[in-house]
Structure 1
Amino acid sequence: MARLILTLICVMLPTVTQANTVYKCRKDDKIVFSQTACPQEYSQHKLEYQLGIITEIDSDKQEKPVDPLQALLNSQTLSKEKLLQLLDSELYRLKQENSYFEILKISELQKLERQRYWRNKTKDDPDYVSQMNNINDHFNGLILNNDTVMQQLSARKNQILTETEPE
């Protein structure tokens, strides 16, 4: 019995670790999201989710970027130019994440609409309306959180820019 449980854990462990990683494959103007590595002809960005933080890593580059949060936690001093660059990259990441949330929201709403259609329910069915409101509330909350953080980061960026301007 212990062997069976150990075998199941070993088989399921790789799938659990992969669930936190999504690859963004880009070729020309086409973007595809996948849970497996991209083919060679695509440029690849790796999106990792860990402890509520999503990190986008350009997998095609060989150099390891320094995570801004880790740099601050390690008490490394950052120049104003580097801090502005990190703020810009975080703002860009949050905008991308908001776009991704919009895509997921539309997808979930379309899935719900298809279910409603095939079950021959009306658009004013209480269950349908409740599920639609739940989806909208969930994704709108995520987008609102990101918008709040983006406003705070923009305010901090403007504060840094005004501090660096000569008087």
Structure 2
Amino acid sequence: MAKILYLLVLLLSPFMVLGNTNAIYKCMKDDKVVFSHSVCPEAFRQHKIEYENGITTEVDSDKREIKIDPLKALLNKQTISKEKLLQLLDSEIYRLKQENSYFEILRASEVQKLDRKRFWQTQAKDDPSYGLELQEINQRFDELILSNNNVMKVLNLHKSKIEAEASPDELMSQ
């Protein structure tokens, strides 16, 4: 019980907001287990738990690794391989598509909630207030989806530009 309470306090502490959101470290020492967004202290064994594209993986990572942020690498005038850049573009496009699917689910949920509200208030489907609320819901989600679609178009343009610049040997290695 004390372990669970200790873990709960640790996870709810405000310093947990900092750090990489898709990687969590499982720090273990004797019979204690602590989860952290930062690398474990030297005295602890660690497993790295990563979440990406809906898949969770846990890796025994006692060796400390320092990841290079792609944006920081570009700002420090370091280069990212074209393969890695294409992979990053693909993953961002995939994430935006998933987000659009999520927006459609949220839209359906809000429309369903609005329909329940209309039913219990015994309003007709042609009631002006119902129509306005439905229009607001659709407009809000259409704007979010349109924004994501515009970003995906730009990313796809960059991706095709990078692929066009790549030599045939580089494309064959992918």
Instruction: Provide TM-score, normalisation by structure 2.
Output: 0.58
Amino acid at match of 2:79: T
Counterpart AA for 1:108: E
Deviation of 1:124 after TM superposition, in Å, equals: 1.3
CA contact (8 A) 2:70 2:80 kept: no
Partner SS for 1:60: strand
Q: What corresponds to 1:147 in structure 2?
A: 149
CA RMSD across the alignment: 3.4
Q: Is contact 1:68-1:86 (8 Å) kept? A: no
- C-alpha deviations, 1:10-46, integer Å up to 9, x for none? xxx869x88xxx99xxxxxxxxxxxxxxxxxxx9848
Shift of 1:165: 3.7
List alignment gaps of at least 5 residues for structure 2. Answer: 1-11, 23-48, 169-174
Q: Say which SS state the counterpart of residue 87 (structure 2) adopts.
A: helix
* 1:1-167 alignment runs, 5 A limit: 45=51, 59-62=56-59, 68-166=70-168
Cα distance in 2 between the residues matched to 1:82 and 1:68? 9
Contact 1:44-1:59 at 8 Å conserved across structures: yes
The 3 A distance-change label for structure 1 pair 149 and 121 is: same
Q: Provide, for residues 60-117 of structure 1, a one-character-per-residue CA deviation record: whole Å limited to 9, x for no partner.
A: 3447876544544454311111111111111111111111111111111110011001
CA distance in structure 2 between the aligned counterparts of 1:83 and 1:153, rounded to whole angstroms: 11
Alpha-carbon distance between aligned partners in 1 of 2:72 and 2:114, rounded to the nearest angstrom = 40
2 CA distance for matches of 1:116 and 1:66?
52
**Across the two proteins, how many residue pairs are aligned to each other?**
123
> How far apart are the structure 2 equivalents of 1:99 and 1:83?
25
Identical aligned residues as a percent: 51
3-state DSSP class of the match of 2:139? helix
Q: Per the alignment, do residues 140 and 58 of structure 1 end up closer, same or farther by CA in structure 2, a change over 3 Å counting?
A: same
Any gaps of 5 or more consecutive residues in structure 1? 1-12, 24-42, 47-55
Change (3 A) 1:67 1:118: farther
CA radius of gyration, larger in: 2
Per the TM alignment, residue 122 of structure 1 is displaced from its structure 2 partner at its CA by 0.8
